[in-house]
C-alpha cells in the first residue's frame, strides 16, 4: 500500500490507548482552557485521525509562514497550508505549559484536545496578509475562506496535541465519518492495490458519477473512495446528511457491488482552490489512495481561480518528490447530445456548447425547489428525488 506522506506509517494524534486516554482526559479537567475556532477544531480532528501525518500539532508562526511561502516548514517538512490555532485572547492560558482546547461546535464546549504549549506569538497584520495572499491568492474579505481565516484572532498558540475525540463528526455521521486509519484498514481488507479518491462537497450528478467510472477504468483501479466533506460550508451549500443520502443512493444503483467506499472527513472547507487541492491530495495519500481526481475549479469559489489552476499547481508549485499519489486531471464533464453519453468536454473537439446538456447551479436549485427534476442527462432520477425532497423542506 502507498506510504503516508513523509512517513513509513500513519501517526494519528488521537489517544487510542484507553489508559492514556483516560489519564489525559482526567488531567484536562484541571488545566487552563480556551475555546478554539471551528477551523482549528477541524484541524485537530484531521490530525487526530492521521490525515495530517506527520504533523504533531499546531504550527508556530515561522512554520506557518514557510508553508505559505514554499510549502515547507522550517525543518524542511512538506505541508501545503498553515495549520494554526489562532485566538483572539490568550489571558486564560498565559504561563500554562499544558492547556485544554475546547470544542466550539459541541454544546458545553467539551475538551477536544490537550496541547503542550511551545509558543504563544502575536501575528502581525503584515504576516496575516502575506499568509492570506499566498494560500488564497487574494485578500478580498468577501472570499469566504479569507473571511474565516482572518476572523480567528491574532495570537498563534502552537505545540503538540493529544486528541480526545472527533468533535460532532463521529456522533452525527456514524455511518460516514472515517479516520485515515480506518480507511487504510478498509482498503487493505478489500485487497485493493490501486484506489482513486473523489472529493465532493456537493451531491453527485450524472457527470460526477461518470467521471468516477472514467477514472476507475482509465487508471485500472480496484476501488473508488468517495470522500465527502462533513464540516462547515458556505451558506447555500447542501447539508452533509442530504449529500450523504444522495450519494449512497447513486452508488447503490449505479456502481458494481463492493467497488466503492462512501466515506467522509471532518474538516471545514477553505475554498482555497489550488492550495486546497494540494491539501486534498496530501491527506488522500495518507488515507491510502494511490490516485486522486482533480477537476475543473477544484475547491474554488466565485471567480478567484482559473479553471485549471488546481491542476497546474502540482506541476508548478508542489516540490518535486514530496507526494506519491498521482493526480487524475479531469476537464468539465457533461452529457453529449451527439454521442449520447457523458464525456470530458476537452475530448469532444467537434462539439459546440449547444451540443452538451449544461445547467447552472442556480438553475438546478430553482428546478429542485419547484419540485421539477433536472433532465436524466444531468441527474439520476433517484438522486434528484432526494434533493427535491430537501428543497421542499426549506421553502
Q: Which domain holds residue 274?
A: 174-393
Q: Using the 3D structure, point to which of 170, 201, 226 is the last residue of a domain.
A: 170
376 in a structural domain: yes
- State the DSSP code for 48: H
Give how many domains the chain has, as a whole number. 2
Same-domain pairing of 194 and 71: no
Same-domain pairing of 54 and 38: yes
**How many CA atoms are closer than 13 Å to the CA of 76, on its beta-carbon side?**
4
- Answer yes or no: is pLDDT of 395 > 70: no
3-class state of residue 56 by DSSP: coil
The chain-wide mean pLDDT, for the chain, equals: 95
Same-domain pairing of 278 and 368: yes
CATH number, domain containing residue 152: 3.10.400.10
The whole-number pLDDT of residue 363 equals 86
Q: What is the pTM of this model?
A: 0.94
Same-domain pairing of 219 and 309: yes
The whole-number pLDDT of residue 50 equals 98
- Answer yes or no: is pLDDT of 131 > 90: yes
Cα–Cα dist 217/119, whole Å: 49
The whole-number pLDDT of residue 201 equals 85
Segment 18-35 mean pLDDT:
98
Same-domain pairing of 113 and 179: no
Same-domain pairing of 124 and 242: no
8 in a structural domain: no
7 in a structural domain: no
3-class state of residue 69 by DSSP: helix
The whole-number pLDDT of residue 394 equals 80
238 in a structural domain: yes
The whole-number pLDDT of residue 361 equals 76
Same-domain pairing of 188 and 112: no
378 in a structural domain: yes
Q: Using the 3D structure, point to which of 115, 146, 170 is the last residue of a domain.
A: 170
The whole-number pLDDT of residue 362 equals 78
- Answer yes or no: is pLDDT of 19 > 70: yes
Same-domain pairing of 341 and 285: yes
pLDDT digit string, tens, across residues 57-77: 999 999 999 999 999 999 999
- Answer yes or no: is pLDDT of 47 > 80: yes
Three-state secondary structure string covering 250-315: HHHHHCCCCCEEEEEECCCCCCCCHHHHHHHHHHHHHCCCCEEEECCCCCCCCCCCCCCHHHHHHH
pLDDT digit string, tens, across residues 76-128: 999 999 999 999 999 999 999 999 999 999 999 999 999 999 999 999 999 99
Segment 172-197 mean pLDDT:
96
Give the strand pairing for 333-336 and 356-357: antiparallel
127 in a structural domain: yes
Residue 232: which residues within 8 A CB-CB, separation 6 or more? 38, 42, 268, 269
Active site residues: 201-202
The whole-number pLDDT of residue 234 equals 67
pLDDT digit string, tens, across residues 311-337: 999 999 999 999 999 999 999 899 999
Same-domain pairing of 42 and 166: yes
Same-domain pairing of 127 and 181: no
Cα–Cα dist 108/110, whole Å: 6
Segment 273-291 mean pLDDT:
98
Same-domain pairing of 336 and 193: yes
187 in a structural domain: yes
Same-domain pairing of 135 and 180: no
Three cell numbers, residue 166: 472527533
354 in a structural domain: yes
Amino acid at each position: 500500500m502507498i506510504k503516508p506522506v513523509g512517513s513509513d506509517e500513519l501517526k494519528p494524534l488521537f489517544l487510542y490507548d484507553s489508559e492514556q486516554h483516560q489519564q489525559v482526559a482526567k488531567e484536562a479537567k484541571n488545566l487552563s482552557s480556551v475555546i478554539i475556532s471551528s477551523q482549528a477544531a477541524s484541524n485537530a480532528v484531521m490530525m487526530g485521525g492521521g490525515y495530517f501525518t506527520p504533523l504533531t500539532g499546531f504550527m508556530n508562526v515561522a512554520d506557518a509562514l514557510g508553508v505559505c511561502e514554499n510549502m515547507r516548514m522550517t525543518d524542511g517538512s512538506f505541508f501545503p497550508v498553515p495549520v494554526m490555532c489562532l485566538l483572539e485572547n490568550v489571558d486564560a492560558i498565559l504561563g500554562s505549559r499544558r492547556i485544554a482546547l475546547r470544542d466550539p461546535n459541541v454544546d458545553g464546549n467539551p475538551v477536544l484536545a490537550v496541547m503542550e504549549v511551545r509558543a504563544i506569538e502575536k501575528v502581525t497584520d503584515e504576516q496575516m496578509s502575506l499568509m492570506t495572499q499566498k494560500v488564497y491568492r487574494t485578500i478580498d474579505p468577501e472570499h469566504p475562506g479569507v473571511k474565516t481565516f482572518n476572523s480567528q484572532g491574532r495570537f498563534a498558540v502552537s505545540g503538540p496535541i493529544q486528541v480526545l475525540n472527533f468533535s460532532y463528526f463521529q456522533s452525527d455521521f456514524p455511518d460516514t465519518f472515517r479516520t485515515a486509519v480506518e480507511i487504510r484498514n478498509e482498503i487493505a481488507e478489500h485487497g485493493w492495490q490501486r484506489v482513486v479518491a473523489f472529493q465532493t462537497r456537493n451531491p453527485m450528478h450524472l457527470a460526477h458519477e461518470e467521471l468516477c467510472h472514467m477514472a476507475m477504468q482509465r487508471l485500472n483501479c480496484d476501488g473508488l473512495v468517495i470522500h465527502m466533506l462533513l464540516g462547515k460550508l458556505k451558506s447555500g451549500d447542501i447539508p452533509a446528511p442530504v449529500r450523504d443520502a444522495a450519494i449512497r443512493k447513486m452508488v447503490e444503483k449505479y456502481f458494481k457491488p463492493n467497488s466503492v467506499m462512501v466515506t467522509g472527513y471532518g474538516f471545514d472547507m477553505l475554498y482555497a482552490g489550488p492550495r486546497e487541492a494540494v491539501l486534498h491530495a496530501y491527506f488522500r495519500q495518507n488515507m491510502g489512495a494511490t490516485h486522486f481526481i482533480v477537476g475543473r475549479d477544484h475547491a474554488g469559489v466565485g471567480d478567484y481561480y482559473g479553471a485549471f489552476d488546481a491542476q497546474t499547481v502540482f506541476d508548478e508549485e508542489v516540490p518535486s518528490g514530496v507526494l506519491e499519489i498521482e493526480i487524475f486531471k479531469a476537464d468539465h464533464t457533461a452529457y453529449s447530445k451527439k454521442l449520447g453519453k457523458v464525456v470530458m468536454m476537452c475530448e469532444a473537439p467537434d462539439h459546440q456548447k449547444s451540443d452538451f446538456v449544461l445547467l447552472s447551479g442556480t438553475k438546478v436549485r430553482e428546478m429542485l425547489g419547484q419540485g421539477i427534476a433536472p433532465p436524466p442527462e444531468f441527474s439520476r432520477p433517484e438522486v434528484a428525488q432526494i434533493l427535491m425532497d430537501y428543497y421542499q423542506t426549506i421553502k
